[in-house]
Amino acid sequence: MSIAEAQEKVDQWIRSHGVRYFNELTNMAILTEEVGEVARIMARKYGEQSFKESDKDKELADEMADVLWVLICLANQTGVDLTKALENNFEKKTIRDKDRHKNNEKLG
């Protein structure tokens, strides 16, 4: 699905199953929580921390989808077209960083 389709599907789901959006500050707190859950899995799977019993059933893909879901909610609530925002971000990065990474000795 496209980003625009995802924004529409989340909006439809919220309106049909979720009653209404949580307010923006609540969703910002939820986004932070969800990013923390991704970080927890990353630290255990790719880092040096070991899994706790309660973490073993967590799936990275599902937690990333949770992050994306809440980010889409925030975009919908604040009138952000994520397709356009991402296109603009690519343009910004291309102009700003077109040679930066190629010239980074640490990446060579």
CA distances, 56 to each of 42, 44, 53, 61 (Å): 12, 10, 6, 14
Residue 98: its pLDDT value, please?
83
The four Cα atoms 43, 71, 68, 58 give a dihedral, to 10 degrees, of: 40
Would you state the structure tokens that stand for residue 68, as one six-digit string?
Answer: 């994306």
User: Is there a contact between 55 and 49 (Cβ–Cβ < 8 Å)?
Assistant: no
Residue 22: its pLDDT value, please?
97
Residue 93: its pLDDT value, please?
94
CA distances, 103 to each of 32, 85, 94, 95, 96 (Å): 33, 27, 14, 15, 13
Residue 99: its pLDDT value, please?
86
Regions of the chain with pLDDT less than 50:
none
Q: Note the pLDDT tens digit of each residue in 37-49.
A: 999 999 999 999 9
Amino acid occupying residue 82:
L
